[in-house]
Structure 1
Amino acid sequence: MSRSLLRTLFELRAPSTPRPAAQFKLPVRSLSTTPLRRDSPTVSESPTISAQSATAPSAIPTNPTEAASLVAESRSPTPQAPEALYPRIPQQVNQPTSASQATIAQLLPLLRTQPAHYLTVHIWGRPYLVTAGDQIRLPFKMPCVVPGDVLRLDRASTLGSRDFTLKGSPYVDERLFECRATILGTETEPMRIKIKTKRRQRRNKHVRSKHHFTILRISEVKINGPEAVGL
């Protein structure tokens, strides 16, 4: 016998049982064909809208160019004011004792008369030993500054000359000195590529780095007398 005859015999012997019809549960809204009226009690009323939102005009732009400009404005970061990036933090200067006040009142005029004053200023927590005319290369890019800006450096832990040195605890009173720095510009180093590998792996990772620097020049170093702090 051929396979087709065997197949027909097996189909005749098997009892033919009708399969149950598939039952699909349709949503209630799709079954109803008559539209519902708004005064019908079955329709849920929409929530009330405030008067401010009802009177406000629609803020959705219809022109595609206006929509693109709105998206660009929302993605662009808002510039921050210099006061927000560089907040004025009061100094934590310990009150000097009567003996130290007498010493400052006696020796500060001598320190002031000697030339070539130096300072140990702190810029963002980093100490720098500077004199007038020195250039500082900060290892970061200072935001919200342009070449030509003048900064007042009011954090100094050491103030001295050739024979005298005044140390603060932790900082010297900012009324005793004036130190100003001028922004010269920013610099960038050449692109550095470092290849990182892992053991028993054939892939290599190339890490690129290009640091930015800010260049300052100390334009003024001035020592005030003891009368600046009322001594």
Structure 2
Amino acid sequence: MASLLRPAALRTVARRALHTEAVQTPSTTPNALSLIRSQPFQYVVASVAGRKYLLSPRDLLTVPRLKDVRVGDVLALSDIHEVGSREFTMRGNPTIPPENIKVQATVVEHTKGKMEVIFKKKRRKGYQKTITHKQTYTRLRIGPIDIVDQ
């Protein structure tokens, strides 16, 4: 039994290999954008209807009803907080200027959610009330992410 136990000094420690190589951070915004553009896949974090969403091209996004748009309208997303790829990310402070990144969303449909049932009751008073409600939504199709040269 004593031969199975080794002192702590004789144990070998395995080190984890680094999966990525050391990459220097770009010094200017155009250099950072060109690194992101060179990657095969990009994403953005944008504010739509007051909420932040992680978006990539061809995504279908469901947001609370946008009343001033019609089906087929093309919206330009201007509040972009972050743009990135698999290896690189650039964050805005608080947003990235719209001249650098262009993302468009097309209104696909206006729809309603599932039926919500709200039941109200007062004990011992005989008061019961059932309210049904469907929340309205707008669905958007995200277009390509264009990173503009400067």
TM-score range, shorter chain: 0.7 to 0.9
- 1:205 counterpart residue number: 129
Give the distance between the partners of 2:87 and 2:105, measured in 1 at CA. Answer: 25
Query: Residues of 2 paired with 1:171 and 1:157: CA distance?
Result: 4
- Structure 1, unpaired ranges of 5+: 1-99
Superposition CA RMSD, Å: 1.8
Q: Which residue pairs with 2:119 in the alignment?
A: 195
Q: Which has the larger radius of gyration?
A: 1
Aligned to 1:118: 43
Aligned match of 2:92: 168
Task: Give the letter aligned to residue 56 of structure 2.
Answer: T
Instruction: Give the TM-score taking structure 2 as reference length.
Output: 0.77
Q: State how far apart, in whole Å, the 1-side matches of 2:65 and 2:49 are.
A: 12
Give the Cα–Cα distance (whole angstroms) in 2 for the partners of residues 153 and 104 of structure 1: 20
Residue 34 (structure 2) aligns with: 109
Closer, same or farther in 2 for the Cα pair 1:101/1:161, shift >3 Å?
A: closer
Instruction: Give the share of equivalent positions with the same residue, in percent.
Output: 31
| Corresponding position: 1:181 with 2:92 | no
More helix per residue: 1
Matches within 5 A, 1:1-231: 102-138=27-63, 140-225=64-149, 227=150
Residue identity opposite 1:114 in structure 2: Q
Local SS of the residue matching 1:151: strand
| Partner SS for 2:99 | helix
Q: Taking structure 1 as the reference length, what is the TM-score of the superposition?
A: 0.51
Q: Which has the higher contact order (CA 8 A, sep 6+)?
A: 2
Q: Contact 1:112/1:224 (CA < 8 Å) preserved in 2?
A: no
Contact 2:82 2:91 in 1 (8 A): yes
Give yes or no for contact 2:32–2:90 (8 Å, CA) kept in 1: no
Larger strand percent: 2
Indicate if the aligned counterparts of 2:26 and 2:32 stay in contact, CA closer than 8 A.
no
Q: How many residues align?
A: 126
Q: Distance in 2 between matches of 1:153 and 1:203?
A: 48
Note the alpha carbon deviations across 1:74-126, whole angstroms, 9 max, x for none.
Answer: xxxxxxxxxxxxxxxxxxxxxxxxxx993323332111111211000101220
Moved over 6 A (4+): none
Distance 1:211 1:114 in 2: 39
SS at match of 2:34: helix
Q: Secondary structure at the match of 1:214?
A: strand
Gaps of 5+ in 2: 1-24
